[in-house]
Structures are given as structure tokens and as C-alpha cells.
Structure 1
Amino acid sequence: MKATLWPRALTAGIFAILLAAPAMAQDKAQPDKLDKVSFGTNWVAEAEHGGFFQAVADGTYRKYGLDVTIVPGGPNENNRMLLIAGKIDFFMAANTLMSFDAVANKVPVVSVASIFQKDPQVFLSHPEAKITRLEELKPLTLFVSKEGITSYFQWLKSEYGFSEKNVRPYTFNAQPFIASPQSAMQGYVTSEPFAVEKAAGFKPGVLLLANYGWNTYSTQIETRQDVIENKPDLVQRFVDASIIGWYHYIYGDNSAGNAMIKKLNPEMTDELLAYSVAKMKEYGIVDSGDSIKNGIGAMTDERVTSFFGKMVKAGVVKSDLDYRKSYTLRFVNKAVGVELRPGSR
């Protein structure tokens, strides 16, 4: 199961699995020379990265004049360091807290789009517990990762009065949760419920934190400030093409993108990929809220300001942080691809 909240690659060692864009005949709309672009994800290939792989597989990036290489992350990779070092051009940041952290540490990276309007972070509970509201989790044993304790759980404490007295370490192993009916476990809505059902034979209750006010953006496209300044057209084309790739992946024929994911990550099955896409649609992970009008990738000043205020109140970030340096709206909110949403025409 995947780690959550922060990038899942924080250990040393750089082993990049390079994925070359497939050879395709260029149509008249495509330039003779493509700009080479490298994009690093923060974990191994999975459905949560699907739109990027789709844009490679179906030729969308090429139509925007880009020859994109995707560099998958993993437990021994640190693609964000490759971005900072200038070895890759774009990186898939986990969430807005990463962006705030970059400003706090004077790291010259900026978020230019947010693919996920809702963070997939959830708590799973046993069906017999009949948990229907977030507050009902308080008496249960809660399995939370150390990254979760320092981020969303601090918000749960400040916003909902949770306590750490019932928290136990979550090591991305579902068995302690499965064995304890009076417990709840963190996870991603796109994967952990599926894994628990397969392992334990029951459908867990699911509470999406985003529906209770955890309004961080997630799966953000990040690049360096110098790339924005020197190659704004390239940034715009990469953002636009990625957005189109995500519309195709969520609403269209995503078989090409999934084939690429399975080639890079043989542990991915058709069943899990289909489950993940269905949950992204059901919960509005990719396309909801501001993206309905402004397009996938949408961000707003109001949303970032709101989340910043919550993190200050929770003691996660300092109040004097110049958080507006963490993102730019220059490349989003242009309604790119909205016509590809079913029923939009």
C-alpha cells in the first residue's frame, strides 16, 4: 500500500526508470521538432498518475510539441531533488503542505497546477462500527503514519478535538486494523479500501477528510522558478497537455495509459486500475468544485489562503510564511479541456 501525504521517496539513491514517449506519426498540427521534457512522479506507476501516462500514450503531449519522459518515483527515489538540481523539468508534488515547506526552506520550486481538487486521504473503519461522521472516530484506535501525525492529524486536533492518546503507528500494513474491529486506519480512497476488501473480505467504511474541511490541493505539478521565467510557453503547454491527458484518462478510453502503467508496475492489475478510476470519479478527486468551470488543474487564491489559515491554527506552519510564493495561477483556470467532460457539450 502506498504512503500518503508526503512524497513516497525520501531515501537516498537515484535510479530513474525512463519512459520514452512512443513513436507516433506527427500530424500537421505537430511541429517538426519536439521540446524534450522530463516529469518525475512521487511513487511507482499507478492510476493516481494515470492522466500523465495517458498523455504520453495517446500522443497528447506530442500534439503540444513535447517529447515527455516520465521518471517514476519509488521507495529509493527522490525525484523532487532531481527537480531542484535541474535534472528534471517538472515534479508531481503530493499536496499544498509540500509547497509551503518549499517556501519555508527557500527551495525555488512553484506549484503551477493542481490535478486533484480533493486530497484522497481517508480513514477506514470496520462496517460493524457503523461510523458515519468524522467525530465518531475519536474513541477508536487510530492507525496513523508519522507523516500523518505531523500534518492532517494536527488539523484534526485543532478542528475536531482529536487526541493522540488512541493513535498507534501505521506502517502501511493493514493487518493490525483488520484484526481490531474498534479501530480505524488511514489510507487513500483509491487503493486501501480495495486492498482491505481483498485481504479481509469486508467493505470498510470510508470517510474522506476532504469532505470535512481538509482542503489541501493534491497531485500538484511543480517546477522551478527559473523554468517559469525562461520557458513560460513550455510550462503552459505541459500543463495544458497534462490536463487533456487527465480528461482522457478519467472520462475516455484509458487503455493506453493503463497499459503503460502495468508495464512499469506489474503489480498493478486491471481490477485495481478500474477501481481507482471509479473512486476518483465517485468522490470528485480530479474533477469537482472549481474545476467544473475552470478545468482540471484549477487553483484559487481563496482556497490556498483557507488551507494556510487552517495549518497556522493547527501549528503546522508559521503565520509569517509568505505562502503566496508557493504557487502561481498563471497557467491554470483557463477551462482547457472542459468540453471533454461527458455532458458538457
Structure 2
Amino acid sequence: MKNTIAGLLVGALALSTAPAFAQDALTLQLKWVTQAQFAGYLVAESKGFYDEENLDVTILAGGPNIAPEQVIAGGGADIIVTWMAAGMAARESGVPLVNIAQPFKRSGLMMICPTETEITEVADFPGHTLGVWFFGNEYPFFAWMNKEGIATDGSEGGVTVLQQSFDIQPMIQGQADCISVMTYNEYGQALDAGYGPDNLTIFNYTEMGNDLLEDGLYVMEESLSDPAKVDAYTRFVRASMKGWAYAAENPEEAAQIVVDMDDTGAATLDHQLYMTGEVAKLVDPTDPKLDMATYERTVKALLDQSIIKAEPEGAYTTVVTDGL
């Protein structure tokens, strides 16, 4: 009898220490390396916000040889962070991606030209070499040039496009007259190198009305037919936005979290703190919903440039953000 009671007590103790429900596992693939561009997700993981939503989230760093669209298509992730142009192009190519939330409301993309190039307006571009990132990041540039009627094949009256590295070296080394930068990353590198508004002409995509939607959250369409997955996505977005809010309110701590979570050791505290402050200007932590006016402008630009051939159907859903 004593052994029976002891066995029951041990069993009861084991049950009392076990979690009530197993956490739902989700894998997030970032668009780029571990940096404050993704501070909201990194903070949410570090501060336990995903745990509070009963989620076990694995965050995968990206890089120059990693295409989030390919990762999720191959089953390596449940959710990816990518720009809408890349997501739309992938969808039309047979990877049925769907936007479930849009934390980034504004574009951080700019093009900068040193004053010695004598480029002061778009009309000065023809005959010059412009640095542009590829791997899905080129679409906003080509849409802009198409809007301006400027050829990008190096022909007379057009511009030559240099496939730019992900830094400001092409400008410093004179390989390009103008280069692409993000407000929250490479522009900071330019400032550190002695450049700024006094010796640069700055073309801000948002201020010009040429901004296309950038970092959004995308999943595979078929997964949205599973109510359990939709529920997990909803909890993920809620926790992520809590992470974005915390990062905006606590930039120093957020920057340190980014540095601590960078396995490569490449992230520096000063630069991540700069990035955290600049990224906060692009994210609305209270509203992860997709802005339809910006969505329609993005789609129109992609259609005009023939980046996509047909008006997309089912490329976004509000089922997740409606459930917050």
C-alpha cells in the first residue's frame, strides 16, 4: 500500500512540474544576418515573449547566399521575413507566399551620391554608374527607373547598373557614382566614413513616393488552411510586436540583445544601437496590419516593370492580424 501511494505521489509531482501544454514550434527565417533590422524578433525571443505565447521559436540568420523564399519552399522555415517585391516574384514563380503581417510601414532604402559626381537630381543620372543590390533587392530601383523613363542597360541616355556589395565600398573606391544604402545600416557606415547631407545628394525612396513594402512576414498559403497554424501565427505576430515595442522603448538593451544573439561576433554595439534607433522610425509596433495604399502602389510598380505579369490574387491575408 505504501509503495502504491508513493508511486502515485511521484506521478502527481511529475505532472505538476510538466508544462500544461507543449509549446508550438515555429521556425523564422530572417532576410539577412543577425542585426537590429530584426530587433523585434530577437528581443521577443530573448525576453521570453514567445514563451508567454506558448511558442518555441527558432530564428535562422540569413546572408548573401540565403534566399528566404527558397528556404520556406524547401520546408526549412514556417515564416520568413522578406520584401514584398521578392515575395510577389516568388509567388508568381510557383512559391505560394502570403503576407500575414507588415511590421515595416516605411522604406529604409535610399540612394546616395557624393557631391563631386555633380548629381543633384534624377535627370543627372544618365551616363553614370549606379550601385544596386540584387537577390530581390533590385526591384524598387528598377521600378523607380522605369517610372522615370531611364534605361538601365548602359545604353546612351541611360545608366549602367553595378551589382553592389552590401557595404559602401563601391562609392569609396569609385566603382559607382551613386550607391544604395539603408537608412538603418549602410547610411550609418557612410556617416562614419565622413559623408553626410553636406557632401551627399540623397534620394530617399519614401520621400520620393517610390517606396515599396519591405520587411513583412510571409508563410506558405497551404498552411493557412490549418486553424492551429493560424492560431500559432497570430500568437507569433502578437509576441513579435511586443518585441518591437520593447526594442523602441529600450534601444540600448535591444542593441545588446542583438550583439549577444549574433553567433558570428560581427555585430558591434555602437552600430546596432544606431540601427535600433533608425529601424524604430520604420516600424509601427502597435499596428502590424498591411497598409492597402502602399500595397497597391507596390503591386502597380511591380506590374509596370513586368517584375510580375499579372495582378496577384491571395497574396495577403488579414486573418492573422484580425485575430490580434
TM-score, structure 1 as length reference: 0.75
How big is the shift at 1:50? 0.8
Match of 1:68 in 2: 57
Q: Which moved more, 1:40-49 or 1:68-77?
A: 68-77
- Counterparts in 2 of 1:262 and 1:32: CA distance versus 1, 3 Å: same
User: Measured at CA, do residues 88 and 216 of structure 1 come closer, stay the same or move farther in structure 2, by a change above 3 Å?
Assistant: same
Equivalences for residues 46-65 of structure 1 within 5 A: 46-65=35-54
In structure 2, relative to structure 1, the CA distance for the partners of 1:222 and 1:256 (3 Å cut) is: same
Partner residue of 1:115?
Answer: 103
CA contact (8 A) 2:78 2:220 kept: yes
Query: Alignment partner of 1:102: what SS?
Result: helix
Aligned-residue offset at 1:176: 3.5
DSSP 3-state at the match of 2:217: strand
Question: Partners in 1 of 2:318 and 2:250 — Cα distance?
Answer: 27
Change (3 A) 1:280 1:134: farther
RMSD between superposed Cα atoms in Å = 2.9
- Displacement of 1:214 in angstroms is 2.3
Q: Closer, same or farther in 2 for the Cα pair 1:145/1:257, shift >3 Å?
A: closer
- The letter of the residue matching 1:317 is I
Give yes or no for the alignment of 1:171 onto 2:169: no
Q: Which residue of 2 aligns with 1:243?
A: 241
Work out whether residues 129 and 181 of structure 1, in 8 Å CA contact, stay in contact via their aligned partners in 2.
no
2:190 matched residue in structure 1: 196
Q: Which runs of 5+ in 2 are unaligned?
A: 1-18
5 Å-filtered alignment, 1:188-267, equals 188-198=182-192, 200-203=193-196, 204-230=200-226, 231-253=229-251, 255=253, 258-264=256-262, 265-267=264-266
SS class of match (2:102): strand
2:106 is paired with a residue whose SS is coil
* Distance change in 2, residues 1:136/1:116 (3 Å): farther
1:187 and 2:181 correspond: yes
C-alpha distance after superposition, 1:99-125 (max 9, x if no partner): 212331222321101121122221012
- 2-side partners of 1:45 and 1:124: how far apart? 25
Q: Report the equivalent of 2:273.
A: 274
Question: What SS does the corresponding residue of 2:231 show, helix, strand or coil?
Answer: helix
Runs of 4+ in 1 over 4 A off after TM superposition: 127-140, 146-150, 179-182
Change (3 A) 1:182 1:220: closer
Task: Provide the C-alpha distance between the structure 1 equivalents of 2:251 and 2:21, rounded to a whole number of angstroms.
Answer: 27
Letter of the 2:33 counterpart: V
Partner Cα distance (1:136, 1:285) in 2: 29
Which stretch has the larger CA shift, 207-216 or 48-57? Answer: 207-216
Letter in 1 for 2:283: V
- Deviation of 1:70 after TM superposition, in Å, equals 0.7
- Structure 1 partner of 2:141: 153
The alignment partner of 1:115 has SS state of coil
3-state SS of paired residue (2:210): coil
| Structure 2 Cα separation of the partners of residues 155 and 236 of structure 1 | 33
1:254 Cα deviation from its structure 2 partner: 5.3
Whether the 8 Å CA contact 1:47–1:276 is kept in 2: the answer is yes
Residue among 291, 310, 313 paired with 2:304: 313
Larger Rg: 2
Equivalent AA in structure 2 for residue 238 of structure 1:
F
Question: Amino acid of the residue matched to residue 285 of structure 1?
Answer: L
Question: One-letter code of the match for 1:118?
Answer: R
Counterpart CA distance in 1 for 2:287 and 2:259 is 21
Aligned partners of 1:41 and 1:79 also within 8 Å: yes
Deviations 1:268-322 (A, max 9, x none): 11111111122224xx3213xxx7xxx332213333222212222223221x34x
The aligned length equals: 294
5+ unaligned residues in a row in structure 1: which ranges? 1-29, 337-345
Structure 2 residue 124 is matched with structure 1 residue 143: no
Shift, 1:126, TM fit: 1.6
d(CA) in 1 for partners of 2:266 and 2:301?
37
Go from structure 1 to structure 2 and tell me whether the alpha carbon gap of 1:134 and 1:247 turns closer, same or farther (over 3 Å shift). Answer: farther
Deviation at 1:51, TM superposition (A): 0.6
Candidates 60, 78, 81, aligned match of 1:92: 81
CA contact (8 A) 2:255 2:272 kept: no
8 Å CA contact 2:164–2:179 kept in 1: the answer is no
Whichever residue aligns with residue 309 of structure 1, its letter is K
TM-score (normalised: structure 2): 0.79
